[in-house]
């Protein structure tokens, strides 16, 4: 089965369980790096018309994988069985082209090498969901084949994400 | 080699969500929810449980203070030595001054409480106090006074659900919530909360009253329903005591007046009132923390519950159903209550819980003959209503009694998990603890209270101990997943072992936790051995489901047996305390001080990635909010010259804290929301006056405090 991640903004309540799961699953030291899932908040309107929405982003293991196309060193590979986009950063030269190419701001440089979510590949092999997906109590983050990244194409979710980031207030 | 999974529960909060603990040899690895295929979930906190268990500031061994109290010098001692010294000191104090000179206190964790309370009773005093002096008990008092029982919304059968300070997304998010399904079935939702929370997304109407004005809002609805003939006259005639007086009282809560008091636009108030009037079957959820945390909090809870009474929505399908039942077969449960009562002493002046109507209806076989007597528990003189209907001392009066020595001196405190940060103006508590002859604190972590103790004992977490877990109609015996880390022990084991060394007149407690568990589950039709070997949550056989209406039919556990909008219990409190039997409204903010302190500080507003002080020191929580921050509306911030992330000072008449500004429109204009339990300079409860308390319950008015905010340093 090919795995892609999908985020459903209308279901997210901003609780942070996905991010907390990611931090602990990957033993991430938050003083030194970002988790592989990130939670952002936008506020629209005010008073009675106030609407607050949250957005979770990170590697969606999307079918377009612009990171792989952008990388001059061939660090990225699409897993034949799961469709997960794997990053082997042994050859990474820190050029940041993948970081710039990714519409989901999923790639970060740690030291001088690119790093990103590995899709909890070992959990998938055991028949378990990626931990961030498992952690969401409201199914706002899903991992399946029939997701929007595939059916609507990358562009739709990418546009939504871009719109969200545009709206991030300069506070 | 396969991966070994062991089953346990998370005990960061009291819900006890089942967890799978992946083992790495003898150490714990990843912690995930049990039974994910059938909907098992954890909240954000649960995914950091391993980090919590492994917090670097865990207390590792029993310690005795060396040198000055609070000086930070300790010597490790054995458990035997610690028990021996504690036993000698407490027994000597009891022999010299009586058992009441020792106050026994427990912080948040609740699982061992019956064991502790029995220990206290066996020691010979009613001076058992908990952090529930500021959580849940005030709401419970309101429910007891009105209905003689706690209630739960029967939302599945409601037309309308009113969530009063209802945010299940930031606490208990793992346990699912009914809002989405309810809405999809056509149910309507009103959320009442000054703050915007995710629950507002599910609301047809989100009312944002000023903090603490809930009673006025409820009375407006009450008056509207009466004026529009939307009450249930037959129900009121049969089951409600004090309706005419209530009706007269709420008449003053007109649209204009309520709009002014609550700071909600009149048209929004009207739309909500119409929706309630248009929904004969409705249920209400009331937060046991947010609503009572005002100086009029207990009465505000009663005022909200009155809406159920006048519309016939208490003890009726789709309304609020009692969760304590009049028939034994419906109440079948592990007998912790009886266990606590077996060694209970009686208050020598005849005051206190065991003399209340509720008590005697609940314990028809309770014998008073042959029991020891003791002094009235701490806080009974200052908060007589609390003293009468809550089976704990009011710990907001503990520091005062230690410092003033009235009505009698308290010379020692034996505490489990005492959190200084829960107390208002808590320098006073520290001053009081410093004056004690003897102070013992048992805790998992090095808290501020533990640092000033004479003897400190290390407790362990849920994965390191055995525990009988009672959840709804099920019981489960959870065995330890790992051995206790360092020299730590289970709180229940500590209490039983100490009881043995002290040779308390309590053979059962001295036999240990397992003997206690076998004793309390004797009548539920399950054996201890089957529970222990399966480790699974097991349904109590023969428990009869509740049928709505039977409590009303058989008579409620209130003095009149009816719903008491006019409380005969309150009417029995001496007049000089000024308590009103009707659910009256008064402003929770102090009358004076608006000019110098124009904003309203709300202390304790939840965030989803911290819980009390338990996640201080858990590094992953810092990702979400790296610095202690107060939430302010951007417009208020702009007027004060404050920008996102600026260092700000929040001042009250009691003191000043220094935090960061987090700008969000989720905060209502004019209010400042601050998470509690941070250390010194960000500890919001420290700047709330020690007398800013609800006279009915003794609860602190955490969530309506006058304050001023100033920018200190731009980010």
Confidence of residue A171 (pLDDT cuts 50, 70, 90): very low
Kindly list the averaged pLDDT for each block of 10 residues, start to end, along chain B of length 715.
Answer: 86 94 92 89 96 96 95 97 98 98 95 97 98 97 96 97 94 82 95 96 96 98 98 98 98 98 98 98 96 98 98 98 82 88 91 72 78 94 94 97 98 97 97 98 97 98 97 92 98 98 98 98 93 94 88 94 97 96 97 96 93 90 94 98 97 98 97 93 97 98 98 83
Start-to-end C-alpha separation, chain A: 43
- B41 close to A (CB below 8 A): yes
Confidence of residue A165 (pLDDT cuts 50, 70, 90): confident
Q: Do the beta carbons of residue B176 and residue A137 sit within 8 Å?
A: yes
What SS3 class is residue B501? helix
d(CA B697, CA B700): 9
Inter-axis angle of helices B491-502 and B113-123, nearest 10 = 20
Q: Do the beta carbons of residue B184 and residue B155 sit within 8 Å?
A: no
Give the per-residue pLDDT at B68.
93
pLDDT of A90 strictly over 70: yes
CATH fold of B63-136+330-539 reads Rossmann fold (3.40.50)
Q: Nearest CA to CA, how far is B509 from chain A (Å)? A: 39
Phi, psi torsion values for B424, nearest 5 degrees? -75, 150
What SS3 class is residue B631? strand
Contacts of B619 in chain A (CB under 8 A): 29-31
More confident: A171 or B3: B3
Range B378-410 burial, b when 16+ CB lie within 10 A, else e: bbbebbbbbbbbbbbbbbbbbbbbbeeeeeeeb
CATH class for domain A4-167? alpha beta
Q: Nearest CA to CA, how far is A20 from chain B (Å)? A: 6
Asked if B170's CB is within 8 angstroms of A20's CB, the reply is no
Phi, psi torsion values for A61, nearest 5 degrees? 50, 50
d(CA B71, CA B714): 36
Q: Nearest CA to CA, how far is A46 from chain B (Å)? A: 7
Can you give the pTM of this predicted structure? 0.96
Cross-strand pairs, B104 = B128, B414
ipTM surpassing 0.90, yes or no? yes
Query: Which CATH number applies to B4-53: 3.90.550, 2.20.25, 1.10.3470, 3.40.50?
Result: 2.20.25
Give the per-residue pLDDT at B620.
94
Among chain B residues, the shortest Cα distance to A37 is held by B623
CATH fold of B151-322+558-577 reads Dimethylsulfoxide Reductase; domain 2 (3.40.228)
Among chain B residues, the shortest Cα distance to A28 is held by B620
Give the per-residue pLDDT at B331.
77
CATH class for domain B599-713? mainly beta
Contacts of B48 (CB under 8 A, 6+ apart): A20, A23, A24, B615, B618, B620, B621
Asked if B169's CB is within 8 angstroms of A13's CB, the reply is yes
- Residues 604-663 (B) with a CB less than 8 A from some CB of A: 608-609, 619-620, 622-624, 634, 643-644, 663
Give the per-residue pLDDT at A170.
44
Domain boundaries, chain B: 4-53, 63-136+330-539, 151-322+558-577, 599-713
Q: How many CA atoms lie within 13 A of B88 on its CB side?
A: 7
Average pLDDT (A111-136) is 92
Distances (CA, A) of B461 to B4, B483, B613, B621: 20, 10, 15, 19
Cα A169 to the center of its chain, rounded Å = 21
Among chain A residues, the shortest Cα distance to B715 is held by A171
Strands of B224-339, DSSP E: 240-241, 282-286, 320-322
Counting one residue from chain A and one from chain B, the pairs whose CB atoms sit within 8 A come to 97
Give the per-residue pLDDT at B327.
75
Q: In what order do the strands lie in the sheet with B188-192?
A: B205-207, B188-192, B160-164, B282-286
pLDDT of A68 strictly over 90: yes
pLDDT of A144 strictly over 80: no
Contacts of A15 (CB under 8 A, 6+ apart): A137, B43, B44, B169, B170, B173, B198, B608
Asked if A29's CB is within 8 angstroms of B644's CB, the reply is no
Give the per-residue pLDDT at A63.
79
**Which of A17, A30, A129 faces B623 most closely, judged by CB atoms?**
A30
């Amino acid at each position: 089965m090919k795995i892609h991640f999908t985020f459903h903004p209308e279901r997210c309540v901003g609780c942070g369980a996905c991010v907390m799961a990611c931090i602990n699953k990957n033993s991430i030291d938050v003083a030194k790096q970002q988790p592989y899932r990130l939670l952002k908040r936008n506020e629209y309107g005010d008073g009675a018309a106030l609407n607050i929405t949250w957005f979770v982003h990170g590697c969606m293991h999307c079918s377009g994988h612009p990171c792989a196309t952008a990388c001059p060193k061939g660090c990225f590979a699409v897993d034949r069985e799961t469709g997960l986009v794997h990053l082997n950063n042994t050859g990474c030269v820190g050029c940041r082209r993948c970081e710039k190419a990714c519409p989901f701001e999923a790639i970060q440089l740690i030291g001088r090498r690119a790093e990103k979510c590995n899709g909890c590949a070992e959990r998938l092999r055991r028949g378990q969901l990626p931990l961030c997906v498992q952690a969401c109590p409201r199914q706002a983050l899903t991992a399946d084949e029939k997701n929007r990244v595939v059916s609507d194409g990358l562009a739709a979710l990418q546009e939504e994400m871009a719109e969200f980031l545009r709206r991030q207030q300069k506070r | 080699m396969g991966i070994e999974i062991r089953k346990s529960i998370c005990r960061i909060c009291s819900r006890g969500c089942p967890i799978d603990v992946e083992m790495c040899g003898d150490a714990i690895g990843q912690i995930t929810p049990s039974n994910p295929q059938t909907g098992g979930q954890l909240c954000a906190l649960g995914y950091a449980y391993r980090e919590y268990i492994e917090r670097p500031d865990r207390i590792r061994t029993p310690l005795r203070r060396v040198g000055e109290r609070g000086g930070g010098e300790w010597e490790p001692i054995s458990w035997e030595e610690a028990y021996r010294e504690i036993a000698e000191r407490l027994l000597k104090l009891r022999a010299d001054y009586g058992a009441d000179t020792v106050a026994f206190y427990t912080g948040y964790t609740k699982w061992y409480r019956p064991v502790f309370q029995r220990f206290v009773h066996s020691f010979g005093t009613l001076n058992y106090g908990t952090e529930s002096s500021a959580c849940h008990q005030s709401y419970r008092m309101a429910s007891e006074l009105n209905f003689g029982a706690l209630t739960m919304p029967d939302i599945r059968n409601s037309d309308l659900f009113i969530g009063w300070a209802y945010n299940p997304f930031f606490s208990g998010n793992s346990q699912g919530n009914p809002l989405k399904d309810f809405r999809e079935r056509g149910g309507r939702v009103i959320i009442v909360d000054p703050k915007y929370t995710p629950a507002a997304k599910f609301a047809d109407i989100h009312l944002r009253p000023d903090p603490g004005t809930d009673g006025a809002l409820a009375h407006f609805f009450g008056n509207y329903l009466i004026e529009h003939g939307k009450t249930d006259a037959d129900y009121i005639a049969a089951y409600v005591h004090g309706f005419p007086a209530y009706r007269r009282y709420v008449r003053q809560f007109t649209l204009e007046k309520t709009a002014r008091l609550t700071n909600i636009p009149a048209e929004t108030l009207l739309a909500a009132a119409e929706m309630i009037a248009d929904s004969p079957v409705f249920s209400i959820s009331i937060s046991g923390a947010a609503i009572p945390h005002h100086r009029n909090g207990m009465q505000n809870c009663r005022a909200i519950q009155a809406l159920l009474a006048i519309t016939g929505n208490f003890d009726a399908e789709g309304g609020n159903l009692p969760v304590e039942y009049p028939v034994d077969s419906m109440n079948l449960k592990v007998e912790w209550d009886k266990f606590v009562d077996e060694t209970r002493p009686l208050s020598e002046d005849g005051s206190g819980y065991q003399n209340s109507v509720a008590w005697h209806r609940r314990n028809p076989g309770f014998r008073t003959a042959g029991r020891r007597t003791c002094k009235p528990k701490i806080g009974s003189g200052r908060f007589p209503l609390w003293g009468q209907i809550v089976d704990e001392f009011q710990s907001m009066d503990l520091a005062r009694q230690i410092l003033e020595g009235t009505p009698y001196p308290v010379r020692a405190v034996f505490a489990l998990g005492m959190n200084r940060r829960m107390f208002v103006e808590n320098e006073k508590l520290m001053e009081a603890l410093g004056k004690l002859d003897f102070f013992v604190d048992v805790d998992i972590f090095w808290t501020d209270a533990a640092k000033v103790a004479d003897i400190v004992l290390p407790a362990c977490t849920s994965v390191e101990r055995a525990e009988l877990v009672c959840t709804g109609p099920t019981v489960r015996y959870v065995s330890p997943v790992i051995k206790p880390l360092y020299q730590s022990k289970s709180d229940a084991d500590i209490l039983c072992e100490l009881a043995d060394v002290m040779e308390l007149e309590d053979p059962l407690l001295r036999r240990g936790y397992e003997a206690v568990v076998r004793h309390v589950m004797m009548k539920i039709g399950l054996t201890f051995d089957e529970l222990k070997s399966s480790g699974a949550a097991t349904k109590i056989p023969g428990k009869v489901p509740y049928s709505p209406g039977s409590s009303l039919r058989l008579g409620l556990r209130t003095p009149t047996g009816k719903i008491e909008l006019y409380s005969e219990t309150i009417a029995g409190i001496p007049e000089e305390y000024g308590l009103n039997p009707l659910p009256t409204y008064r402003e929770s903010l102090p009358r004076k001080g608006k000019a110098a302190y124009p904003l309203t500080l709300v202390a304790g507003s939840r965030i989803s990635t911290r819980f009390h002080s338990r996640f201080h020191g858990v590094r992953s929580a810092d990702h979400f909010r790296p610095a202690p921050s107060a939430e302010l509306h951007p417009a208020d911030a702009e007027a004060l010259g404050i920008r996102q992330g600026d260092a700000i000072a929040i001042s009250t008449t009691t003191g000043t804290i220094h935090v960061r500004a987090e700008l969000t429109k989720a905060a209502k204009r004019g209010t400042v929301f601050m998470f509690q339990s941070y250390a010194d300079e960000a500890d919001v409860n420290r700047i709330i006056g020690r007398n800013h308390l609800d006279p009915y319950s003794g609860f602190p008015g955490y969530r309506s405090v006058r304050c001023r905010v100033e920018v200190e340093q731009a980010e």
